[in-house]
Structure 1
Amino acid sequence: MKTIPTLCGAVLAALSLSASLVVAADAPPSGYNPFETFAPFVYPQPSNGYRSGSGKPGPLFWQNRADYQIKAALDPDTRKLTADEVITYTNHSPDDLDVLWLQVEQNRYLKDARGAFDDGKFPTEFTDGEHITSIAVEGTDGKLQKADWVISDTRMQIRLPQPLKARDGKLRVHISYSYTVPGEFGGRTDVNPTKNGDIFEIAQWYPRMCVYDDLRGWTTDPYLNNEFYLEYGDYDYSVTVPWNMIVVGAGELLNPQDVLTKTEMQRLDQARHSDTTVMIRSADEVNDPNTRPKQSGTLTWHFRIQNSRDAVFGASKAYIWDAARINLGNGKTALAESAYPVESAGKEAWGRATEYVKAATEYFSKQWYPYPYPVAINEAGSAGGMEYPSITFDSKEAKGSDLHALIAHEIGHTWFPMIVGTDERRNAWMDEGFNTFIDVYEADNFNHGEYAPKRDPEYAPGHGNPADEIVKVLTDPDAPPLLTRADEIQEKYRHPVTYFKSAYGLVLLREQIIGPERFDPAFRKYIQTWAYKHPSPSDFFRFMESETGEDLSWFWRGWYEYNWKLDLAIQNVTPIDGDWRKGAQVTVANLDKLVMPSTLEVVYTDGSKQDIRVPVETWMQHRSYVIRVDGNKPVKSATIDPQHAIPDVDRSNNTFTVR
């Protein structure tokens, strides 16, 4: 046995002063290879002038912009939406563009849509898709020119009369279109019944620009069933509906005097100054025509949201509507709102919805990054749980802790991907997983832990310890790695991998690998740095390494690039030179490909204990170590990871009892 007299500073800093390490000369066979685990990591995306090696936007970084003006009308009897749209598109890229690509996602509801052959989840009824009536392009001279277009599934290419110039070229695209709203369940947009009238949840309702970026050029992934990748801009939109319908939409309502009664406007003003929920339209008023400013014809609701990647709305004559103030710090406020049918009312259900969104928005703003929008709205329907800037579509049937978790999760998407605009169609783990991660701590914080700890299926599917629950994923040979395109992940693995494994990876980084004192400032700065931009997985990896001062290549490889397993073991405990008064020698081994910092707990025969921190650098050169533990009394047992804080796949070898 060869004693190592000195160790590198990183190891000494992390180890307890009461311990030193000794190589086990005759280490047993192991599936672990240090040269594989600690090999240089090849980032999926290169660093260059656009994206730096520090994970920040580079000096040549650019991003295009799309601003929208939309005038729409919804006929609830025919379920038809008709609209005219003007997109102001700005090309900041270094490339002239001779075509534009747009998403026309109502074609997902055609019987022969590509997504209909994906997993069969939805829709339950089909439509005749998107109907484009006309397209014209307006240049800087203000003249309109007709443009040719071709539609392929859920994408539309517009062939420009003249190329759009690089570096700040701008044009306006005029589009007239219509479609039939898909019925329940339409996936992320639908119409669903209640006893007082239908609820329309209107999303993916306008042709919208595909992203053109430095990573892939035009990003034209078809809409199968996964979510979105969108440009940022300002939205000015109006929706005309029958007089008896309430509309809740993304952003600020610009014309309350036209669509609300004086009583409703007074109640909204009261809510803006109230930390408790104020009823804007009660259950008793739902069928009262006097809650509308007129009793015939139509009303046009006008909204605006700025620096956003999308805008959606809900509409129904069945809504109860309530609201309360959100306190954002520095004297800034926003308005929390909920709209739901009478079937969903009550303090055990949606009667607390505004309380939930208010608390979550306040917590996320304080902990990570300020909430940017004037409203945060919950809308109840059949979409189950779907996020958009400043408004979410949540299940009208959810109650209690499930409703709280749902609302916190969906409004949490404001930060990922509404503020940090990742590509959900390819890297859903950067959206769902990051959001699920911040949900974990929101659950601890809400109402002194009323619903804590967070143990919903998105985080710990079996409602147990996440470190033990994730073993089911790590030991499944068919489970895909996190760095898998979202559309390739089967439904059975979507929550366990995209949500749970991604979220738990950040928990491990924060609580076991880096520590909150370094992780939290770095994560906040990541959000701030990439706010309203499009980071790639490599940008995140590089940023966290640079900001926290850790080479995490071993973690990116084992947890994200592969689905590697961790198996630490205690193989022997003996007194030094046969004398417990000189201390103990504990042989610790790493038996599989993943590594992780861990805690070694030594229990003495008198019941006292000693903990030694075993850093990840322990495994950079060796498969097993003998840890010399200072002490002067007999040892009863030694356990690696006694608190089940890390995802060890075989705990049967974690404890060695001295005979």
Structure 2
Amino acid sequence: MQLRFLLSAGLVACCASIATAQTTNSGTDKFAQLGTTLPTPNAYRTASGAPGTDYWQQRADYNIRVKLDDDKQSITGSEDITYTNLSPDVLTYLWVQLDQNILDKNSITTATQVGQIQDRMPFQALDYLQRSEFDGGFKISKVEMKGGKALPYVINHTMMRVDLPTPLRPRQAVTFSLAWSYNINDQTKINQRSGYEYFPEDKNYLYEIAQFYPRMAVYSDNQGWQHKQFLGNGEFALPFGDYRVSITAPSDHIVGATGTLQNASEVLTSTQRQRLAQAVNAKKPVLIVTPMEAEQAEMRRKGGTKTWTYAAKNVRDFAWASSRKFIWDAMGIKQEGVPVMCMSYYPKEGNPLWGKYSTEVVAHTIKTYSKFTIPYAYPVAISVHGPVGGMEYPMLCFNGGRPEKDGTYTADRKYGMISVIIHEVGHNFFPMIVNSDERQWTWMDEGLNTFVQYLTEQEWERNYPSRRGEPKNIVDYMRTGTNLQTPIMTNSESVLQFGPNAYAKPATGLNILRETILGRQLFDYAFKEYARRWAYKHPEPADFFRTMEDASGTDLDWFWRGWFYTTEHTDLALEGVKWYKVDSKNPELENAFKRQQLNSAPQTLSQQRNLQDIKRTLVDDKPELKDFYNNYDPLATTDADKQRYQQVVKGLSPEQQQRLSAGLNFYELSLKNLGGLTMPVVVQMTYEDGKQEVVNIPAEIWRKNNAEVTKVFITEKPVVSFVLDPYLETADTDLSNNAWPQKAAPSRFELFEQQQRVQPNPMQQQTSMQQKEQKPGSSTGASGGTN
């Protein structure tokens, strides 16, 4: 309904009260500064989010020797660790991580795992319940100082304290040695971050090996030793250092690892070395080990061993893979002038997907992540296909995604494989370079990486089917009950719904920041600045929050508070719209308006029935009962009305006269924040002529009342509809209250038979059809070609 109001001095005050005079909510002010929620800035970490003048971090350098037993599926190894104390503190002991102890029979993880017995259970579920029967975990046989003096040590589940003979003072280093062994888990039965896969068809093993050596824990300015137990979800906090690792494996195995190969002439054939040289400047991947060569190695079994030596500088970890089944391809790229060799190792079971896509995806990922963060500075980037579904290490990652045995695959399998490679290769940046504490904050690793994964997927292919990143994809999770959610700022081991919480929600939040709150220019600059500041260092959440605000020049405390510290969700509602036009005071215009309103008013039910039932009234039958008012038209314009209007106009300034005659439309929108999460208000207006306009109102509209506000829009043309969040930017969980007039969205339900057959994937269907067409005697066989 259109309403008229008088334009006068009082109108200004009226509009001001609509815009600002809101009653503040009781409870937490969503726009209060985070203040003491964040740690106090100091000389190590500044209020701007940058490392301070006194920032320091420890260093651990490794010389590791490891042997793979392909008959017993076990590892034996020894290592020398040189630990440099760059802190201002004196250390009397060191903490070492024993992550393989998660598979010890007496591990905390095994003791605290929960489960239920179902009437029908798959074998895999029983394997999980029986995992304690596996004899896993490190067997430590030696801990001693350089020179052979034994060091006392205490093992506390996945942590080991090594007591030093003399205190380690600032700027001093100590070298000590360890020897150890452990059994490798069957990844198909005990799902961990590394393990082996057995191929019964050719009786071969494929090994993806990580967390294989005792690793130094982090000692930092903000928490001292990070020796929280490894329970399974909270991944790794590790110092940087240089590595030299010698891996002894069966002589017919191909071994890929973090770093660069130091003894290529000893372990590679001259043909393989020539192919590697050719790959440096190749435009597409070059096969270093061909499928035929890998298949021959599967069958021949040479016997004996080879030792592969790899070196890596300034990395936080090391991983490797070994198998005689490996096909190996490589392609060199330049990243801001720095050469990077992109490579893949995979068994024949991974083709055709892996030969077609893996190394191309690795190269694309390095280029795209470098664009959005910092240039990749390591010499190699490797993707390995094996039993681990997805896991990351410096320069090397393990990835799943295997086609059917006939070589066909679904679209989900293809894009799932591409996405997992992007994700795991992307981890080179978060947390391998920007080295956050995963044991405490999974989101700083997985969430930031998933966000850049989304950007990288969209640059791979137009409208790439990304699972995470778009706000509309997080809505179902945000709708779940608060008892089923935890804030993003929750320790890794206590997070509920791990994937949505630690991966999707922070990634989506960053996308909302980039697209809706800051805009791409401000966001991209600030995000790159965070990566630049904290490359090869140990950032904490406050460092990220503060840097994003500092470099964008935007107060985002309200966003961090709502999206990261609560389980509130977005549900903005358009409760109602009032439409006003200015009273022009022109009697002809105003009387015509009133007549139109009167004529368009609907008749009541009684009026409609009276027209039908009362054929004639008394006055109809007796005209003499009529008087002046029976013919009086109160909306007729008189000369006196016109004279009064002329007098009013003469007393107004030209600007005021223009306002009276402009014919502007005033719309008062009543907005409510039903979900509690503060967000910008994105409003789409559709005009009478069909044209549209979108207005993005900053989230600060809620600063004086977090629950409800009214907002006035002034338009030259009449608006026929208003819609909130028309492009699904804010993860609004209820779109039914976002429109005026309200709209009902149609949906579908499906009817199906109780028993459904599993259909072949589209590639299988197409292949089967083509095979039928090509059979002798087929009517289309003679011309049946394929694309």
TM over 0.5: yes
Instruction: Look up the match of 1:411.
Output: 425
Query: Which residue of structure 1 lines up, in the alignment, with residue 329 of structure 2?
Result: 322
* Deviation of the 1:338 alpha carbon: 0.9
Instruction: State the secondary structure of the residue aligned to 2:483.
Output: coil
Match of 1:585 in 2: 667
Aligned to 1:427: 441
- Contact 1:583/1:628 (<8 A) preserved: no
Count residues with an aligned counterpart.
Answer: 627
Q: Which residue of 1 aligns with 2:712?
A: 628
Alignment of 1:534-573 (within 5 A): 534-573=538-577
Cα–Cα, structure 1 residues 511 and 290, in superposed 2: closer, same or farther, change >3 Å?
A: closer
Residues 33-44 of structure 1: matches in 2 within 5 Å? 36-41=29-34, 42-44=36-38
The yes-or-no answer on 1:168 pairing with 2:171 is yes
> What TM-score comes out, normalization by structure 2 length?
0.76
1:615 to 669, 694, 698: 698
The residue number in structure 2 matching 1:600 is 683
Distance 1:467 1:478, change over 3 A: closer
User: Structure 1, residues 187-209: CA drift from partner, whole Å, max 9, x if none?
Assistant: 01111112441001111111110
Q: Which residue pairs with 1:499 in the alignment? A: 503
Q: 1:4-153 maps to which residues of 2 (within 5 A)?
A: 23=18, 36-41=29-34, 42-116=36-110, 117-118=112-113, 124=131, 126-138=134-146, 143-153=147-157
Per the alignment, residue 658 of structure 2 pairs with: none
Are the structure 2 counterparts of residues 633 and 425 from structure 1 closer, same or farther at C-alpha, using a change threshold of 3 Å? same
Query: Which residue in 1 is equivalent to 2:317?
Result: 310
Q: Does 1:386 align with 2:391?
A: yes
The alpha carbon displacement at 1:396 in A equals 5.3
Paired residue secondary structure (2:489): coil
Q: Using the TM superposition, name which of 282-291 and 541-550 deviates more.
A: 282-291
Secondary structure of the 2:515 match is: helix
- Residue 647 of structure 1 deviates from its aligned partner by 2.0
Contact persistence 1:459–1:499 (CA under 8 A): no
User: Which residue of 2 is the match for residue 481 of structure 1?
Assistant: 487
Q: Does 1:513 align with 2:513?
A: no
Residue 536 (structure 2) pairs with residue 532 (structure 1): yes
**Counterpart amino acid of 2:73?**
R
Cα distance, 1:119 vs structure 2: 5.6
What does 1:261-300 correspond to in 2, within 5 Å? 261-288=269-296, 295-300=302-307
SS of the equivalent of 1:576 reads: strand
CA shift digits 1:623-659 (9 cap, x unpaired): 4444332223332122222222112233222112299
- Gaps spanning 5+ residues in structure 2: where? 116-124, 404-412, 584-661, 744-787
CA contact (8 A) 1:471 1:649 kept: yes
Secondary structure of the residue that 1:414 maps to in structure 2? coil
Amino acid at match of 1:326: I
Using a 3 Å threshold, how does the CA distance of structure 1 residues 263 and 22 change in structure 2: closer, same or farther? Answer: farther
Q: What SS class does the counterpart of residue 85 from structure 1 fall into?
A: strand
Offset of 1:471 from its aligned partner?
3.1
Identity %: 35
Q: Deviations over 1:164-191 (max 9, x none)?
A: 11x2110101111111112223401111
CA distance in 1, matches of 2:310, 2:477: 44
Instruction: State the match for 2:379 in structure 1.
Output: 374
Match of 1:178 in 2: 181
Instruction: Tell me the distance in 2 between the aligned counterparts of 1:350 and 1:5.
Output: 69
TM-score in terms of structure 1 length: 0.90
Q: Which has the larger radius of gyration?
A: 2
Q: What is the DSSP-based 3-state SS (H/G/I as helix, E as strand, rest coil) of the residue aligned with 1:594? A: coil
Structure 1 position 367, deviation (Å): 2.8
Pick aligned residue for 1:651 from 714, 732, 735: 735
- In structure 1, give the amino acid aligned to 2:219: Y
1:570 Cα deviation from its structure 2 partner: 2.0
How many Å separate the matches in 2 of 1:230 and 1:358?
26
User: What's the Cα RMSD here?
Assistant: 2.7
Q: Letter of the aligned partner of 2:241 in structure 1? A: G
Residue by residue, what CA displacement relative to the aligned partner does 1:259-279 show, whole Å, maximum 9, x if unpaired? 000000111111111020111
Instruction: Show CA shifts across 1:208-256 (max 9, x none).
Output: 1011111111111111112111111011110011111110011101111
CA distance, structure 1, for counterparts of residue 303 and residue 363 of structure 2: 35
1:472 equivalent in alignment to 2:471: no
What are the within-5 Å matches in structure 2 for residues 328-343 of structure 1? Answer: 328-330=335-337, 332-343=338-349
Does the 8 A contact of 2:435 with 2:539 survive in 1? yes
Higher relative contact order (CA 8 A, sep 6+): 1
Q: Alpha-carbon deviations, 1:327-367, whole Å to 9, x = none?
A: 3123x221111111111111x34432111111111221233
How much does 1:602 deviate? 1.9
Q: Quick one: distance in 2 between partners of 1:573 and 1:290?
A: 73
Q: 1:636 to 1:34 in 2, by over 3 A?
A: farther
Give deviations 1:477-498, integer Å, cap 9, x for gaps: 32010000001123xx011111
1:24–1:587 Cα contact (<8 Å) kept? no
Mean CA deviation greater in 116-125 or 46-55: 116-125
How far does residue 101 in structure 1 lie from its aligned partner after superposition? 0.5
Deviation at 1:282, TM superposition (A): 1.2
- Cα distance between partner residues in 2 of 1:218 and 1:160: 15
Q: 2:268 aligns with which of 256, 260, 264?
A: 260
What SS class does the counterpart of residue 535 from structure 1 fall into? coil
Q: CA deviation at 1:26?
A: 10
Q: Could you tell me how far 1:554 is from its partner in structure 2?
A: 0.8
Question: Is the alpha carbon distance of 1:284 and 1:604 closer, same or farther for their aligned partners in structure 2, counting shifts above 3 Å?
Answer: same
Give the distance between the partners of 1:600 and 1:51, measured in 2 at CA: 40
Contact 1:584-1:630 at 8 Å conserved across structures: yes
Counterpart CA distance in 2 for 1:412 and 1:427 is: 18
State the 1:59 CA deviation: 1.6
Unaligned stretches of 5+ in structure 1? 7-19
Counterpart AA for 2:687: Y
Per-residue Cα deviation, 1:583-626 (whole angstroms, up to 9, x for no partner): 22222323242211122122222322233221112111134444
Contact 2:450 2:504 in 1 (8 A): yes
- Structure 1: which amino acid aligns with 2:171? D
Tell me by how many angstroms 1:5 deviates: 6.1
* Alpha-carbon distance in 2 for matches of 1:489, 1:92: 33
Shift of 1:465: 2.6
C-alpha displacement of 1:518:
0.7
